[in-house]
Structure 1
Amino acid sequence: MRIYLKIAVYLVLAIGLSFAKAGSYEDFFAAIKRDNPEAITDLLKRGFDPNSLDPAGRHGLFIAVQEGSLKAAEALIAWPKTNVEWRSPKDESPLMIAAFRGHTDIVRKLIARDAHVNKTGWAPLHYAATGGHVEIIAILLEEHAFIDAESPNKSTPLMMAAMYGSPESVRLLLKEGADPMMRNELGMSAVDFAQRGNRKDAADLIAGAIRSRQPRGRW
């Protein structure tokens, strides 16, 4: 009889723990959606895994940055067990998303946690340049981001800034030494990107940088 009672107690405890974990799982992702850092930290202190994935296979920190739940993102970044270098199936990191969306403080905090500034393929600098976020571009370059990083089709941050970013982002990249002569696998240069995006201001800046590289003849 005692053995059966022990088994029954164990089963009750196991079922209780299962329900508690299930509840914590739902509460964790709900807290991210609500941008509630206190609830997140409380769950983490109780042992919840910060690297749990939601039903769609997304990391909590990635969701927070992607959806603009910045207080939730800060709480997760501050938690030492959070994997800040989780990658999505598209090989996107939280730092890349923060760079694209212009979340400057989050970018700084992720870098302080040793998030990778450089990576193969698309890099954070591509994303910052695409968003035209000058301050983030400057931060990444200060952290030794490779200015002429090549995407899988060899497009550079300057090309992305030329087509999608701001004139200021193009100007900064050129000032910091981005190569305006590079071409991607389709044979397109940064000037071609600017023209395709109907960005005359960017095209003029890049053309001027190319002219400045030409040797001047003597008369």
Structure 2
Amino acid sequence: MFNFKYIFYLIVLYSYSFCHAGSYDDFFTAIKHNDTHTVIGLLNRGFDANTLNPAGEHGLLLAIREPSLEVATVLINWPKTKVETRNRQDESPLMLAAINGLTEICQQLISKGADVNKPGWTPLHYAATHGHLAVMNLLLENYAYIDAVSPNGSTPLMMAASYGTPMAVKLLLEAGADPMLRNDLGLSAIDFAQRANRAESAEIISAFVRARQPKEKW
């Protein structure tokens, strides 16, 4: 004798799985194409904004990286989105927004509780690496630790000195960054600038150090 209740259960389960699989593909395709209409529709129908793709990446991280900024804004403002997710490199959405100079997205993330001072590499390290002054100022205004140390002991000033711009170096120094700190290899910000052939940045740091020390000690 057929168990109609069991058969009905299997049909419902199959239908749900099929629809969910379609929603899954639609969600990540919509992120790639900055399709807010589809993303909003899926979220309103109950799709989990924190679903990971097959590579283990969160939709918000993907939207910022693409960049699909309208979708990123939708996800940031969706109440159930976790803005403190991480990828396999321990990068947060705020870090990716910072390294790409996305000031408005950074502001939105911070307003939703994104960690300005996450352990390890920080958003300020990332913003300083590309010399994004507006993002750097925003992070500092929101109490980013200016001398944060990465896993190898490097500071945002060291990143600015090696990869960023002289203006980024100047901003950090004037905001209170310590140019005398050294990383795990014993390198200072001046060393970073010199090794990268950033003569202007090296001179800015040297001049700042000279100005702080009595002449007889220089």
TM-score where L is the length of structure 2: 0.96
Residue 53 of structure 1 aligns with which residue? Answer: 52
C-alpha distance in structure 1 between counterparts of 2:88 and 2:4, whole Å = 48
The C-alpha deviation readout for 1:14-59, integer Å capped at 9, x for no partner, is 1111100000000000000001112111100100000000000000
Match of 2:88 in 1: 89
Task: Give the total of aligned pairs.
Answer: 216
In the alignment, the residues of structure 2 paired with residue 78 and residue 38 of structure 1 have an alpha-carbon distance, to the nearest angstrom, of: 15
**Identity percentage over the alignment?**
56
Asked if residue 15 in structure 1 is aligned to residue 14 in structure 2, the reply is yes
Alpha-carbon deviation of 1:175?
0.6
Which residue number corresponds to residue 210 of structure 1? 209
Q: Runs of 4+ in structure 1 displaced over 6 angstroms?
A: none
Alignment partner, residue 134 of structure 1: 133
Residues 112-191 of structure 1 correspond to what in structure 2 (within 5 A)? 112-191=111-190
Measure how far apart 1:120 and its partner are: 1.4
Segments of 5+ residues of structure 2 without an aligned counterpart are: none
Corresponding residue number in structure 1 for 2:43 = 44
Measured after TM superposition, the shift of residue 8 of structure 1 is 2.2
Name the residue aligned to 2:30. Answer: 31
- Output the CA distance in 1 between the equivalents of 2:88 and 2:39: 25
1:106 and 1:68 map into 2 onto residues whose CA distance is 11
Shift of 1:140: 0.3
In 1, distance between residues paired with 2:111 and 2:37? 22
Find the aligned partners of 2:44 and 2:114 in 1 and give their Cα distance: 23
Q: What is the root-mean-square deviation in Å for CA atoms of aligned residues?
A: 1.1
